[in-house]
Amino acid sequence: MFVIIDEMHDAWGFGEFESFAEAMAELERLATIPWDEPPNQAPCVQWRECGPTYAVAEYDAAVGKHAEIVFVPYLRITKNGATWLHEHEALTEQARPAGGVGSEQQGNGAVHR
């Protein structure tokens, strides 16, 4: 399945999707929501100047969320609006440079990567 996270804040819980297309449809919906309304309002103290960066990965629930998962950032939302970071191409191994965001960080919320 596919999951959406807020990569900026290492926040999970934006949904699980059977297909990449369904995850993209949810991003399209999120892109229509202002940055100061849930679930787009960032969980940090400077949320007014911040916002989520939604990233998508294929996720195997049997492995667990702290396994090595390559997230690809697709959508950045700020007070200036939504910015698409990638076209809606399918996830590929080449979509992100090596040495990107690690998945070992735990906890949630207020710390920026």
Where do contacts with Zn ion occur on this chain (CB under 5 A)?
Answer: 42, 44, 50
Alpha-carbon span 110 to 103, nearest angstrom: 16
User: At its nearest, how many Å lie between Zn ion and the CB of residue 51?
Assistant: 7
In the complex with Zn ion, the residue whose CB is nearer, 56 or 77, is 77
CB of 46 to Zn ion, least distance (A): 6
- Helix spans in the chain (H): 20-30
Apex 20 CA angle, 101 and 49, nearest 5: 50
* CB of 45 vs Zn ion, minimal distance in Å: 8
Residue 106 identity: Q
Q: Which is nearer to Zn ion, 8 or 91 (CB)?
A: 8
Nearest distance, CB of residue 75 and Zn ion, angstroms:
15
**3-class secondary-structure state, position 112:** coil
Closer to Zn ion by CB, 8 or 24: give it: 8
Choose between 1 and 101: whose C-beta lies nearer to Zn ion: 101
Closest C-alpha among 68, 85, 69, 86 to residue 77: 85
